[in-house]
Amino acid sequence: MTKGKVLVIGSNATRIEVQGGWGDTGQYLNETVVPAMALIDAGYDIVLATPDGTQPHIDAASDSAAHFEGDQAAYERARNFFDTDPSMTNVRTLRQVINEGLDQFAGVFVPGGQAPVVDLMQSAEVGEILRHFHEKAKPTALLCHGPIAVVAAMEQAPAFRAALIAGDLKKAEELAKGWPYAGYRMTIFSITEEKVVEDQILHAKMFFDMPEALHAAGGDVITTPIDFDPHVIIDRELITGQNPRSDHPIAKALIDALDARAV
């Protein structure tokens, strides 16, 4: 018998604004499937939902054994899981899961890759979902760039994002007033980690840094000084992981929080 359902919120973005144009983006494979597979192994059901109800695009930069500690067999299992498992292929729209009732879910998880910076952080549906989990104090886990999605819980998320792109931090701070996660301790992909992606993958600079964005929103942002070191922060119901190598630790933290709440 299942312990309960966990909602996984995916992105549909395939392109991201960068200074001077656009770059390819998507969700990271390991960040999506490692926690999902761990949740299933722990006895939870997974429901994947995205803005348009189609499966997320996997960022090519993550589609290799390198993100599974060089373990080719682990990579192949993960890729097969994403491509064929019903929990990954039977995708709902965010509006459908809202209309069907969010009380059915024990927790929520948002994986990273840069894609959430494009659509999830300014999605009204994501905002509605996160406010529900915040108000009910249900485990809310977000990984790598995924924590930027908590911006969606503010009333004027699209305007906040636009202010960040314009470099107007003062305006962004004004727009963030009343944000439900103000004062929460949290982590996200660091400035120095982002520079690696900018230099080696995007070959362009992002319009804003992730820690800067969450700080402007009112978050107490803490990143590890060692790039790509696993790092997870838990504050009340919020569980955030800093980078791709935090995939296993955040899965454990989320499962622990779900199990504790179920007792």
Q: What is the pLDDT of residues 73-127, one digit of tens each?
A: 999 999 999 999 999 999 999 999 999 999 999 999 999 999 999 999 999 999 9
* pTM for the full predicted model: 0.97
Q: Which residues pair with 17 in a beta bridge?
A: 22
Q: Which residue type, as a one-letter code, is found at position 212? A: E
Q: What is the pLDDT of residue 213?
A: 98
Share of the chain above pLDDT 70, in %: 100
Average pLDDT score, the chain: 97
For residues 166-188, give the mean pLDDT.
Answer: 98
Count of domains forming the chain: 1
- What's 182's domain CATH number? 3.40.50.880
Indicate if the pLDDT at residue 229 is higher than 90.
Answer: yes
Q: What is the pLDDT of residue 115?
A: 97
> Containing domain of residue 133, as a range?
4-262
